[in-house]
Amino acid sequence: MENHVSQKLKTSIEKIMEVNFGNNIKNGNKRQVYEAVLTATNEILAEKRYEYSKKVKEQEAKQVYYMSMEFLVGTSLKNNLWNLEAEDDIKAFLAEYGFDIEEFYEMEPDAGLGNGGLGRLASCYMDSMTTLSYPITGFSIRYEFGIFKQVIIDGWQNEFPDSWIDQAGYWLNPRADEEIEVHFFGNIKEHWTDKGLTTEHTDYVSVMAKPYDLFISGYDTEAVNTLRLWSAKSTSGFNMDLFSKGEYVKSTENEAIASSISKVLYPADDKIEGKSLRLKQQYFFVSASLQQITKEHYKKYGTFESFPDKAVIHINDTHPSLCVPELMRILMDDYGYVWDAAWDITANSLAYTNHTVMSEALEKWPIDLVKSHLPRIYSIIEEINRRFCQFIYTNHPELSASIDKMAIISEGMVKMANLCIAGSYSVNGVSKLHSDILKTDTFHNFNIVYPDKFTNVTNGITHRRWLCQANPLLSQLLTEKIGGGFKKSLSDIEKFNEFYYDEAVLSRLREIKKENKKRLADYIAQKNGIEVNCDSMFDVQVKRLHEYKRQLLNVLQIIDLYRKIKFQGFRPLPQTYIFAAKASAGYFMAKEIIRLICAVSDMVERDPDVRDFLKVVFIADYKVSLAEIIIPAADISEQISQAGKEASGTGNMKLMINGAVTLGTMDGANVEIYEAVGPENIFIFGLSTQEVNDLYHRGYRPEDFYNANQSIRDVLEFIKSGGIGGKNFDSLYHYLMYSDPYMNLADFASYCDAHRRVEEAYRDEARFTQMSLKNIANAGIFASDRSVTDYANHIWHVKPVQ
Ligand code: 26V
């Protein structure tokens, strides 16, 4: 039976063909029909959104405002049609006219408004919140260019701009009626008035923030939420005076400066950069969003006393940390609140999630930069800092010696994590291990002062995208065996454990994996020109390229394996190593590691002695839509970061739910995967967090491991002597031998041993499929539906609006 939504969609597609193109589907070309399908789907969501937001308003429900510099949305058409349960009908409808819906899916570019895990998590949470009918609005920037396109030339990564809006802009609904002005630079003046001391911000530069709403659909729900993306433009357009004097270029300068703010996503995840433009981006979207939120609240309630009961503003990592002083500014300067009252409201409305313990990533800004760009905001931060330090001296004199570490302003810098902790009522990490490290190490002193603030919410993923849509065959099998309830409630997937001994199901699982491997193999053949053997074991490491994630350790093992096949007659199980990863553009070491992977890939491919046993493939331009092809095809999931460094990881969860078995360290959420599947269904190796710390304090000496292990010596000398296709990798050799903060060599032996255990398990087909089944069946806790329910109940205190 065709549903009501499908019928509406069809009518609407036909109508749009007429109105936009003066055409009909029968005679329309692919591009026209593509536009009509996206536009029609967007319209359905707009209507649902209208109805849902009316309900939210009527019920005066508390809302979540999720502030994030990144939302890695990926593509939307398939997701929206699937959520509306209209995919099959629309597919059939288009087929009637000779159009293949898969081609439309391929035409849609990813909205790549994020770097990696943090941005994708934000998008998974929007999906889950909506599916569970919680009101949430995401706020970010409408970057004209998302994460760069990666092209590999001779092993070297090159970056190209990603202009996505032309082909995906149909999802962006402009709201010119809700533009907001944001102020930069200028001076502040203080006056005594009858209300006390008031502050005036003068001579500022104005930038207009124009909102574009992207509707977020959910599955089996009336709810539609919005992701509001702000675009920057000048308040004045071009300068008429200059224009009429013939200074055409100069007359548009203001506009160019303003629009640079929303031009491009910062593509770095290797270090924070104290750049003026980045600070402007942060304040721009924070200020526009908070002005809108407070304006709406005031219109409805006429006071901010009720603000913490009606709104919670979530700070996704420190990038939106200016929420703290900006909310203070709005309450004091725009609505006349005195400091204490404003602080009470602010500190009870903000919650903060930390996503990394890497010290290079803890954001701080030079005082002078903040002061010049945001003078009023800086004066507020100074006062927050003064009061905070006073509080520590008075109430925790034992921490006085640590004040430099805890202060919000110290050592010439504004420390954003400290600002977030002081200004939020809740601080959480993203896995059990990570949250423990925050409490006992990174923010140890803060945990003494505010023990009740710190908590954990383990990350999750939306299985609707990562299982149901990316792996329809597996989803179909699950539906047959345990019913479709898991789509809405992933804890049901546990029932799949009952099929542990069911030969027919195990054999179906193998067939499905094989199909998914074929699909990936086709992609690889087309893009890389490499033929891979679908009977070989697919070992997958896909994630951003970073030293701490240790793709290098993976390659060292592969080189060792290569040498054992080539020179020692070793005959391993045929295996295919698949990598995909973007490196930050200026991150030399990361780019060298990509170059090494590509060189090893070439070397193996050219070697007839080895290539039947071993393949290495680096797939370019990793992104959400590519992940959806790779992940369902994986047998082994490489999660090999140095223990204590990966806050959680979420790729590990996506791979697990698709039946890949984890080969990993006890890091991030791997620890919880281990607890979920049991020691016999995961391959763990390497030093623990404690052992890493101990070795660090004793002093890590790579030569100790070099001297103790023949394979390490062989591999390193092979690299040094030009063994890898005659290419020079001295930089990596030196890194491994003389610096290497991530101690690759310390885990090498244990990692190789784990690989041999993997091979042995994989050889026993039945046993390996059972491991795979256990991973699928025990992935329930990694649903982002579970994560957002934790946030809703324990941090946000919000309820669904039905
Ligand atoms: C990371 C790093 C790491 C090294 C030094 C510089 C630097 C700068 C930025 C970043 C990215 C910041 C945060 C981030 O993306 N964290 C990721 O968040 C995911 C979602 O919680 C989590 O699964 C990943 O483990 C975590 O790395």
Task: Please choose from 355, 456, 587, 672 the residue to mutate so as to test ligand 1's pocket, defined by most ligand atoms within 8 A of CB.
Answer: 355
Per-residue exposure over 618-643, b if at least 16 CB sit within 10 Å of its own CB, e if not = bbbbbbbbbbbbbbbbbbbbbbbbbb
Task: Please choose from 118, 457, 782 the residue to mutate so as to test ligand 1's pocket, defined by most ligand atoms within 8 A of CB.
Answer: 118
3-state secondary structure of 553: helix
Backbone angles phi, psi at 3, to 5 degrees: -85, 165
CA of 583 to the centre of ligand 1 (A): 13
Kindly give the pairing relationship between strand 205-217 and strand 172-174: antiparallel
Catalytic site residue from 549, 550, 591, 755: 549
Q: Whose CA is nearest to atom 1 of ligand 1?
A: 269
Task: Tell me the C-alpha distance between 291 and 768, whole Å.
Answer: 55
Q: Whose CA is nearest to atom 16 of ligand 1?
A: 355
Closest by alpha carbon to 47, among 284, 223, 197, 201?
223
DSSP H or E stretch at residue 519: helix 503-528
Kindly give the pairing relationship between strand 187-193 and strand 196-202: antiparallel
Q: State the fold for domain 59-75+110-459+789-796.
A: Rossmann fold (3.40.50)
Active site residue 55: no
Q: Where are the domains of the chain?
A: 1-58+76-109, 59-75+110-459+789-796, 536-782
Task: Tell me the C-alpha distance between 762 and 790, whole Å.
Answer: 36
CA of 118 to the centre of ligand 1 (A): 7
- Residue 628 gets the label, from left (phi > 0), alpha (psi -120 to 50) or beta, of alpha
pLDDT on residue 737: 98
Give Cβ neighbours of residue 503 (< 8 Å, ≥ 6 apart): none
CA of 645 to the centre of ligand 1 (A): 9
Q: Whose CA is nearest to atom 23 of ligand 1?
A: 649
Catalytic site residue from 280, 543, 582, 755: 543
Task: Tell me the C-alpha distance between 370 and 325, whole Å.
Answer: 12
Task: Please choose from 356, 547, 587, 667 the residue to mutate so as to test ligand 1's pocket, defined by most ligand atoms within 8 A of CB.
Answer: 356
Task: Please choose from 113, 269, 362, 435 the residue to mutate so as to test ligand 1's pocket, defined by most ligand atoms within 8 A of CB.
Answer: 269
CA of 117 to the centre of ligand 1 (A): 7
CA of 647 to the centre of ligand 1 (A): 7
Backbone angles phi, psi at 366, to 5 degrees: -60, 135
Active site residue 432: no
How far apart, in Å, are the Cα atoms of 128 and each of 179, 306, 465, 490, 626? Answer: 29, 27, 11, 11, 22
CA of 318 to the centre of ligand 1 (A): 11
Q: State the fold for domain 536-782.
A: Rossmann fold (3.40.50)
Active site residue 355: yes
Closest by alpha carbon to 326, among 353, 369, 293?
293
Task: Tell me the C-alpha distance between 159 and 583, whole Å.
Answer: 10
CA of 544 to the centre of ligand 1 (A): 10
| Residue numbers in the chain where pLDDT is lower than 70 | 1, 237-240, 242-243, 248-253
Q: Which atom of ligand 1 is nearest to the CA of 121?
A: 20
Give Cβ neighbours of residue 32 (< 8 Å, ≥ 6 apart): 17, 20, 21, 23
CA of 537 to the centre of ligand 1 (A): 29
Task: Tell me the C-alpha distance between 461 and 787, whole Å.
Answer: 8
Q: Which atom of ligand 1 is nearest to the CA of 649?
A: 23
CA of 25 to the centre of ligand 1 (A): 46
pLDDT on residue 251: 65
Catalytic site residue from 201, 373, 546, 654: 654
Residues with CB under 6 Å of ligand 1 are 116-118, 121, 269-272, 317, 355-356, 358, 360-361, 430, 459, 646-650, 668
Catalytic site residue from 544, 591, 611, 615: 544
Q: Which atom of ligand 1 is nearest to the CA of 272?
A: 8
Gyration radius of the chain over CA positions = 27
CA of 542 to the centre of ligand 1 (A): 15
Active site residue 774: no
Q: Which atom of ligand 1 is nearest to the CA of 116?
A: 15
CA of 270 to the centre of ligand 1 (A): 9
pLDDT on residue 195: 73
CA of 55 to the centre of ligand 1 (A): 37
Q: Whose CA is nearest to atom 20 of ligand 1?
A: 118
3-state secondary structure of 274: coil
Fold agreement between 59-75+110-459+789-796 and 536-782 = yes
Per-residue exposure over 117-133, b if at least 16 CB sit within 10 Å of its own CB, e if not = bbbbbbbbbbbbbbbbb
Catalytic site residue from 356, 650, 665, 689: 650
Active site residue 698: no
Task: Tell me the C-alpha distance between 159 and 98, whole Å.
Answer: 37
Token pair listed for 264: 């491009």
Q: Which atom of ligand 1 is nearest to the CA of 459?
A: 21
Active site residue 564: no
Long-range contacts of 514-518 (CB under 8 A, 24+ apart): 515/473, 516/471, 516/473, 516/632, 516/633, 516/658, 517/633
Q: Which atom of ligand 1 is nearest to the CA of 117?
A: 19
pLDDT on residue 28: 96
Q: Which atom of ligand 1 is nearest to the CA of 434?
A: 25
CA of 115 to the centre of ligand 1 (A): 9
Catalytic site residue from 62, 278, 355, 546: 355
pLDDT on residue 409: 98
CA of 663 to the centre of ligand 1 (A): 21
